[in-house]
Amino acid sequence: MTVKIDIKGPIISDENSAFYDYFNLPYTSPSVINNELSGKTDEVELIINSNGGDVYAASDIWTSLKSYSGKVTAKIYGMAASAASVIAMGADTLEMSPTARMMIHNSSTYGEGNHNDFDKISDVLKGTDKSIAQAYMGKTGKSEKEVLDIMAKTSFYTADEALEAGLIDSVINFKNDNTEEAPLFENSNSGMIPQTVIDKFATVALDAPISSDLVKDVADEVVKKLKNVDTHKSKNEQVNIDPFVF
């Protein structure tokens, strides 16, 4: 019996899964995959359509796939970008639809602090890139330098290009006898929030009680932003706004 697992939506940490569950949003997290694999030795088929996400969650899933005792076949139906492409590298056999895409790039983050802090962040990102590169190196046989150069360019691949680069094993062949049905695709990179999520959020927001503490917190943030509108003005030129009191 083949165990079929969807790799859909963003790749997230287990800690953030409650939010996605609440709004019924698709996602992939390490515990979702590990629960599917736990105690099994059957063949596994992954269906991938994801724009990526958390690199450490992807590393966790990649490691679980590589450690699995049964055979793992992955099929990229839509997009395997960023962290999702790392997960794809964990399969024993990787196939790709002729209409699908793959993207690999450098890791990224955000932060705050002085130049020393950003130097440290830069070092962490460079180390993360080298860690990510291991997944692609294992699949393609390319050197670390070759893979890091490809990642630095933010490289997009068609199925044929991915095959030529050694990133996949084959392009899915949809036969006329419909032995394998072609998937339905949509543009998963539109950035639009599903209307069901907006409606549910609106309902929760309207039903939630508005406390005085919440109002004060919002007011304090407004005052803080107003006071910092023009930091180049002298102290005497700045508008003096007292905090709102409720």
Question: What does each of the 246 residues of the chain score in pLDDT, given as a tens digit?
Answer: 899 999 999 999 999 888 888 888 899 999 999 999 999 999 999 999 999 999 999 999 999 999 999 999 999 999 999 999 999 999 999 999 999 999 999 999 877 889 999 999 999 999 999 999 999 999 999 999 999 999 999 999 999 999 999 999 999 998 765 555 555 444 434 333 444 554 565 566 555 555 556 555 555 655 555 555 444 443 333 333 333 333
Q: Which residue has the tokens 């997944």?
A: 135
Q: How many domains does the chain have?
A: 2
E-assigned strands of 151-226? Answer: 155-157, 170-171
Structure tokens at 24: 């019924």
149 found inside a domain: yes
Q: What is the rounded CA–CA span in Å between residue 181 and residue 30?
A: 28
How many C-alpha atoms does 32 have within 13 Å on its Cβ side?
24
CATH number at residue 160: 3.90.226.10
Residues 74 and 89 sit within 8 Å (Cβ to Cβ): no
114 found inside a domain: yes
Q: Which residue has the tokens 């962490």?
A: 124
Same domain, 63 and 129: yes
204 found inside a domain: no
242 found inside a domain: yes
- The whole domain housing 216 covers 209-246
Report the predicted TM-score, pTM, of the whole model to 2 decimal places: 0.73
